[in-house]
């Protein structure tokens, strides 16, 4: 099978955005299950190898860079050129999170999958028009959604066609065992203290204030915030007086699992609203499927997360402790509990790791998008 994965025009590679990491992991997963995949992206600031290396990609694939010379029509030109090249290379399927490449695929009689990660109402008028047009196309093979809430939104708004499979394909993570890193790091934590970790951006709604408040209440624990832009780090450092908090800053995606491995337990204190995405904008709280939590499960560490519907969808009972997003006492108590009850700690570690292995790998998601059975592997 040959797949063309067409990234949205605005997506940048390499970059620190969750969007770019998601796309790279999906293409890597397609290769891992034996699918021949080409990734189409805009611009060219680096070579294929430099981009793949920056994300720690183990299963290599080709990247096709598209340069636009039509400033006012960039996103249309990008989609058109990608689809025409895909047609020339006789791909079996186009996959995209943008409706514009899907529209061009329909016009060129190429089967395609629309992968929904946000309500189409949040997109520009071109995306909206293209999406409504592709709903009638016989080339639309399936619509995939990254969360149950996302699927419900499209159904409730009458934006799903008849007789087209609607598939929930939650995000994934890379197996820690399969991505053992060659990297060594200097860990600043104090020996003998409980090492509490968080990985990801420090945008509004991510619960950074909760973690700093916990650190102040728990001086016998070390708190490690791994990720974040310089501006966000400076902001939170100016509001942190605790000496047991370590800001590690941006970490190359290839190395993040090493940092998680140095932690005893991991926090995901998402708030009930105002969870910002790339650039600190928007609110993804209602429809998100947090890759962070799935990556935590892959690490086999104990997890404490906010008690929200989106998190309950991917973190089942017994795989972590859920606490009210703003319940500071609850967060402090949960950290203390896991630091003192080894049996409970071990149970949560085992349960989170087994949950991840039951269907939260990137390969499992890739099979759903490609229309393969759960155990079908074209590389065999």
**Domain holding 206: CATH number?**
3.40.50.2000
Q: Is there a single domain that holds both residue 151 and residue 258?
A: no
pLDDT tens per residue, range 319-355: 999 999 999 999 999 999 999 999 999 999 999 999 8
Query: Which residue range is the domain that position 37 belongs to?
Result: 2-172+361-370
49 is a domain residue: yes
Strand-strand pairing, 166-168 and 194-199: unpaired
From 105, 152, 124, select the one nearest 3 (Cα to Cα). Answer: 105
- 185 domain-assigned: yes
Pair (221, 124) in one structural domain: no
Same domain, 215 and 159: no
- Specify whether 128 is located in the same domain as 150: yes
Three-state DSSP at 127 gives helix
Residue 238 lies in a domain: yes
Question: Is 37 inside a domain boundary?
Answer: yes
Same domain, 15 and 163: yes
Contact 297, 303 (CB under 8 A): yes
Which residues, 6+ apart, have CB-to-CB distance to 147 below 8 Å?
A: 168, 170, 287, 288, 289, 310, 313
Please name the residues in contact with 13: beta carbons below 8 A apart, sequence gap of 6 or more.
Answer: 7, 20, 23, 24, 41, 46, 51, 63
Residues 40 and 62 in one domain: yes
168 and 282 within one domain: no
Average per-residue pLDDT for the chain? 90
pLDDT reading at 78 higher than 80:
yes
Model pLDDT for residues 236-265, shown as the tens digit of each residue: 999 999 999 999 999 988 889 999 999 999
Q: How many separate domains does the chain show?
A: 2
Same domain as 168, residue 192: no
Residues 295 and 327 grouped into a single domain? yes
Same domain? 149 vs 277: no
Question: Does residue 193 sit in the same domain as residue 208?
Answer: yes
Cβ-Cβ contacts under 8 Å for 141 (sequence gap 6 or more): 93, 111, 112, 113, 164, 165, 371
* Candidate from 200-204, 320-324, 371-375 with smallest mean pLDDT: 371-375
For residues 88-109, give the mean pLDDT: 98
pTM of the model: 0.87
Does 324 share its domain with 190? Answer: yes
Q: Is residue 132 part of a domain?
A: yes
Q: What is the C-alpha separation between 212 and 262, in angstroms, rounded?
A: 19
- Inside any domain, residue 254: yes
């Amino acid at each position: 099978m040959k797949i063309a994965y067409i990234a949205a025009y605005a997506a940048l590679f390499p970059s620190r955005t969750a969007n770019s990491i998601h796309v790279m992991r999906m293409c890597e997963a397609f290769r891992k299950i034996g699918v021949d995949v080409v990734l189409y992206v805009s611009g060219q600031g680096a070579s294929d190898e430099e981009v793949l290396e920056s994300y720690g990609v183990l299963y290599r694939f080709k990247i096709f860079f598209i340069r636009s010379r039509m400033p006012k029509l960039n996103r249309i030109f990008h989609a058109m050129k990608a689809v025409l090249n895909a047609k020339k290379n006789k791909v079996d399927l186009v996959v995209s999170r943008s409706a514009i490449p899907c529209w061009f695929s329909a016009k060129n009689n190429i089967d395609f999958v629309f992968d929904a990660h946000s309500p189409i109402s949040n997109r520009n008028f071109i995306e909206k028009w293209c999406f409504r047009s592709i709903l009638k196309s016989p080339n639309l093979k399936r619509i995939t959604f990254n969360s149950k809430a996302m699927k419900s939104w499209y159904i409730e708004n009458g934006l799903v066609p008849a007789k087209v499979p609607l598939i929930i394909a939650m995000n994934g993570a890379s197996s820690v065992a399969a991505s053992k890193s060659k990297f060594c790091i200097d860990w600043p934590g104090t020996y003998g203290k409980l090492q509490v970790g968080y990985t990801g951006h420090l945008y509004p709604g991510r619960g950074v204030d909760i973690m700093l408040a916990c650190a102040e209440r728990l001086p016998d624990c070390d708190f490690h915030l791994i990720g974040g832009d310089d501006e966000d780090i400076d902001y939170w450092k100016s509001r942190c007086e605790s000496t047991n908090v370590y800001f590690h800053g941006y970490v190359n995606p290839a190395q993040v699992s090493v940092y998680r491995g140095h932690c005893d337990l991991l926090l995901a204190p998402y708030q009930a609203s105002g969870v910002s995405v790339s650039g600190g904008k928007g609110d993804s709280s209602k429809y998100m499927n947090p890759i962070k939590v799935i990556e935590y499960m892959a690490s086999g560490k104990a997890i404490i997360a906010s008690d929200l519907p989106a998190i309950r969808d991917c973190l089942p009972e017994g795989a972590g402790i859920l606490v009210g997003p703003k319940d500071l006492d609850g967060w402090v108590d949960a950290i203390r509990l896991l630091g003192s009850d080894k049996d409970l700690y071990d149970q949560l570690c085992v349960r989170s790791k087994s949950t991840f292995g039951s269907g939260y790998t990137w390969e499992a998601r890739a099979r759903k998008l490609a229309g393969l059975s759960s155990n079908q592997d074209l590389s065999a």
